[in-house]
Amino acid sequence: MQTPKAPLSWDEYFMLQAMMASMRSKDPSTKVGSVLVDENNHQISMGYNGFIAGIDEAKLPWSKDLNEGLENTKYAYVVHAEANAILHSTRSLENSRCYVTLFPCNECAKLIASKKIKEVIYLSDKHQDKEHTIAAKKIFDLTGIKYRPLRIGENLLQLLERHLKNQVEDL
């Protein structure tokens, strides 16, 4: 007899978690989520891009226009999803995996490499031609950190929608 297979792989499960985390982001243009997972497939922490914790958000800008000066843009104050996930972790991240909805920038790659995270699994690589992505890949290549894309197919989204609807209807 065949062992029943879970309809969701661990990769898909954690990428969906990262996608859920991205829904928490208040950034009007780019919402990114990330989860860190240990070798036993236990989630260590999550993060999404947002302003520095504990700061009065109403006093900070979401502008992306660097012509206004860095201090008047979000870039000066937003902490990226992977960085937040790393900051929120209370344990060693050595040999953990990082699931993230957008390929990390070089600043986050520095943190990922310093924490000895062993693999990065990403959904989108839409900034692949930008310098910060090229530098991030260089950091990963030099430190032996593996990275691979993960697609979330239409079938899985439909399966998830059916599953969630069934659960809500069962209430």
Query: Cα-flanking dihedrals φ and ψ of residue 25, to 5°?
Result: -70, 140
Site for Zn ion in 71-90 (CB under 5 A): 80
Residues 6+ apart with CB under 8 A from 103: 120, 122, 124, 125, 127, 128, 133, 136, 147
Site for Zn ion in 106-165 (CB under 5 A): 107-108
Question: Which residue among the candidates 39, 57, 68, 82 is catalytic per the annotation?
Answer: 82
Residue 156 beta carbon to Zn ion: minimum distance, rounded to whole angstroms: 26
- Please identify, using beta-carbon distances, which residue of 14 and 122 lies nearer to Zn ion: 122
97 binds Zn ion (CB under 5 A): no
- Please identify, using beta-carbon distances, which residue of 12 and 140 lies nearer to Zn ion: 140
Instruction: Answer yes or no: are the C-beta atoms of 32 and 48 closer than 8 Å.
Output: yes
Residue 67 beta carbon to Zn ion: minimum distance, rounded to whole angstroms: 22
Q: Is 82 annotated as catalytic?
A: yes
Would you tell me which residues interact with Zn ion (CB under 5 A)? 80, 105, 107-108
